[in-house]
Chain A
Amino acid sequence: MNDDQEKQLVEKILSGDFNAFHVFVDQYKRLVLHITFRMIDNASDREDICQDVFVKAYNNLNKFQFRCKLSTWLGRIAYTTCLNYLEKKRVPLLDDFMPADLTVDHFPSTANEPDILVEKQDIAGLIQTEMKAIPVRYRVVLTLFHLENKTYAEIGDILELPEGTVKSYLFRARQYLKDRLLQRFKKEELIL
């Protein structure tokens, strides 16, 4: 969706066109889903949180100034809504997690004996499991970069972090995942 289309859509929604809002939800639900599902482990709350994000967006749409992309603005709402939820549920955000701490030794291993036969599914499964062991900010950065193809700058805008921090989160998270995979599988098994 280009800038003009975004502007038109926002104007229609603000004029009370609920069909336009339906289009808006359809357009951006994937983004909201990716952020929410990565940050919230509790499956029964996720869809409600996604709805909450869109209701908030609707109620604040008149404050949107077109200074950034609509998706960036919405992504930020999704991110802060999830953070608030996690804080309310007292889920540790591991914010005081120091860079050097993101190493394999600090996490309990989820698997012990390497299997003889490795399926692609196993690697995917391990990545999904390991994803839950890393701090939420790292997860969101990984998801926005790889699944949503966002740039460092856009991710920085959503998480309200400097670009350099986004980059280092991304590198460390991927290196951690790679080290985890190497603990669990042989090198040859990981080359698909």
Chain B
Amino acid sequence: MIHPNDQNLQSYLDDTLLPQQKREIAKHLGQCPSCRQTLQIYRSMYQQLQEEIPDQLSPRFSSRVVRAVKNDSLGSVHMNLWHIFMVSFFVIVAINTALKYYDFVPMLTDLKTDFQGYFYGINNSLHDLDGSFLVFVQDFKLIVSAVLVLGLIFFIDILFLRSKHNPASSLR
């Protein structure tokens, strides 16, 4: 009598055999107490393997994950703001430096005249705009300092977010 091997018995229980093989093994099992016993052992083991893993996640697990993800995406919003800020900061610094070394006043005056014509055409109440470009240039240093302060605030903010989101502390 040729006994089916362990693999065949397992496949028999998994129900992954071809119909012909299945019939042959069923027939053999009918005549062989030893193989029947082995099959029974596998069957008991299968039952055990289907038992749930005893350890469970804490009941608030899902809410905790959602909170972590929310914090993370808030963090990414901050990062985006940070990027926008950095780009505009460098553009402003570049313009400021350029203004220091080149005389843009004639060009700006031309620009002012154009704008004046344009705005006067639309609304006379926009008188105040006259000369605003030059004022803007004069106040540049003030604006840059303000931007620097803003940058510092953002930087601290980012450092804070970083430490809050480092895996060791956020996963607790």
Contact = CB atoms under 8 A, between A and B. Distances in A.
Interface of A: 18, 21-22, 25-26, 29, 33-34, 37-38, 43, 46-48, 50-52, 54-55, 58-59, 123-124, 127-128, 142-143, 146-147, 170-171, 174-175, 177-178, 181-182, 187, 190-192
A3 B14 CA distance: 26
B150 interface: no
A54 B53 contact: no
Interface string B66-95: 101110100000000000000000000000
Given A37-B55, A43-B55, A47-B57, A25 B50 contact: no
Contact of A174 (B42, B65, B70): B42
A178 B37 contact: no
A29 B64 CA distance: 12
Interface residues of B, number: 36
A123 B65 contact: no
Given A37-B53, A174-B10, 4 more contacts: A18-B66, A54-B65, A58-B72, A175-B6
B69 A55 contact: yes
A72 B23 CA distance: 34
Contacts of A25: 61-62, 65-66
Contacts of B47: 192
A113 B137 CA distance: 92
Q: Which interface residue of B7, B37, B41, B65 has the most chain A CB atoms within 10 A?
A: B65
B62 A26 contact: yes
B47 to A, nearest CB: 7
